Amino acid sequence: MRTLRTTAIAALSMSTLALAACSTDSTDADTSPTESTSATAAAKADFTGQEVTVVTHDSFAVPDDVLAAFEDETGLTVEFAAPGDAGSLVNQLVLTKDAPLGDVVFGIDNSFASRAIEEGVLADYTSEVPAAADAAAYAIPGSEALTAIDYSDVCLNYDIAAFEGDVELPTELADLTDPAYAGMLSVTNPATSSPGLAFVLATVAEFGDDWEQYWTDLAANDVRVTASWSDTYYTDFSAPNYGGDYPLVLSYASSPPYEVIDDEPTTAALLDTCFRQVEYAGVLEGARNPEAGQAVIDWMLSDDFQAAIPENMYVYPVSEQIEVPAEWAEYAPLAEDPHTLDPEEIAANRDEWIETWNSIVLG
């Protein structure tokens, strides 16, 4: 989520995102709620003078005014800890489960969710706010430990200008092993990056038992691997806003609207390469303030927070009451048939797939 994923939290404080000069401290008329429908856990307890720590990935963002309103409503002071990308996030939660880093976590996605559940780092919680009914559509089977907050499609993005000449635009995963695209693709490591793992899962879904050969061919075609989404997108992408050397990068279907310059798109997503990603929040087992952690989850399902998601984390809110920005219909359509895998299959094979990928691609 993951969701366009944005710049890191500086010094673990909240900052407004800026991507192609499009960040805002509040949402526009298309996404602003007319009335909050958040009947939060805050109504059940007095949190005045208390603190709650949200553990999240390094791309989490929410407008200052939305955060301030939640703190004013609850009496809570919200602190943030960001130990890395979503893959690193789950690893850190497992390593620190006997001394949790905070009270609630946001940013565990469906590729890592089963590990967090199996390792016992999460406590059960079922929200009762209105949007929880929409979130339930993305629930992890057999568990009440995670609540869906947003979703998007992890897809390859391309620099439009790079494919306006002699090089034909690839359209599907199989095309990328063609020597014509040698040294043109940058992706992220599935061991440390949730988009990276989502992309590996897309290849497993597409090629089945032949997925290993596919990555062998990609490695021979000089695929570049970075540790995080931000490295691949902000540093490697050759799109005009970044000026790197790679015209094909791993990102999200919702990234291109934020690369429009003078009303002209400069990037687009390859929708036949997508994997559907869902991001979750959960109360941490052993948290110092679990009730406040529950209130944070309710807040993340509130109209105010859900309406802020598209233009701050560049993914889709789970609440069906929230309208995404109008330009997303043109520049950020979701894949009609994204790659998916059953959570049970991911849980049973994820670690082996990552180890095999590492052996093939990184040696």
**CATH number of the domain within which 230 lies:** 3.40.190.10
For residue 153, which of 205, 115, 91 has the smallest C-alpha distance?
205
Helix (H) or strand (E) holding 127: none
Return the structure tokens found at 220. Answer: 């021979």
Query: Does residue 216 sit in the same domain as residue 354?
Result: yes
Cα→Cα distances 362→45, 116, 121, 352, Å = 51, 26, 30, 15
Query: Does residue 181 sit in the same domain as residue 253?
Result: yes
Cα→Cα distances 56→84, 162, 258, 296, 310, Å = 8, 35, 23, 12, 17
Residue-number span of the structural domain to which 114 is assigned: 10-152+277-330
Assess if residue 105 is contained within a domain.
yes
pLDDT at 39: 44
Assess if residue 29 is contained within a domain.
yes
Assess if residue 283 is contained within a domain.
yes
Report d(CA 251, CA 5) in Å as an integer: 8
Number of domains into which the chain is organized: 2
pLDDT at 30: 40
Query: Does residue 354 sit in the same domain as residue 221?
Result: yes
pLDDT at 44: 59
pLDDT at 349: 95
pLDDT at 20: 30
Provide CB contacts within 8 A for 207, sequence distance 6+.
173, 213, 214
Query: Does residue 50 sit in the same domain as residue 74?
Result: yes
Query: Does residue 240 sit in the same domain as residue 215?
Result: yes
- Helix boundaries (H) for the chain: 64-74, 86-95, 113-118, 132-135, 194-207, 211-220, 229-230, 290-300, 303-313, 328-331, 343-357
Query: Does residue 36 sit in the same domain as residue 133?
Result: yes
Helix (H) or strand (E) holding 175: none
Query: Does residue 142 sit in the same domain as residue 201?
Result: no
C-beta of residue 41 within 8 angstroms of C-beta of residue 299: no
Query: Does residue 66 sit in the same domain as residue 87?
Result: yes
Query: Does residue 251 sit in the same domain as residue 358?
Result: yes
**For the chain, which ranges sit under pLDDT 50?**
1-39, 42
pLDDT at 16: 28
pLDDT at 129: 97
Cα→Cα distances 256→12, 20, 99, 159, 188, Å = 27, 10, 40, 10, 19
For residue 23, which of 59, 77, 50 has the smallest C-alpha distance?
59
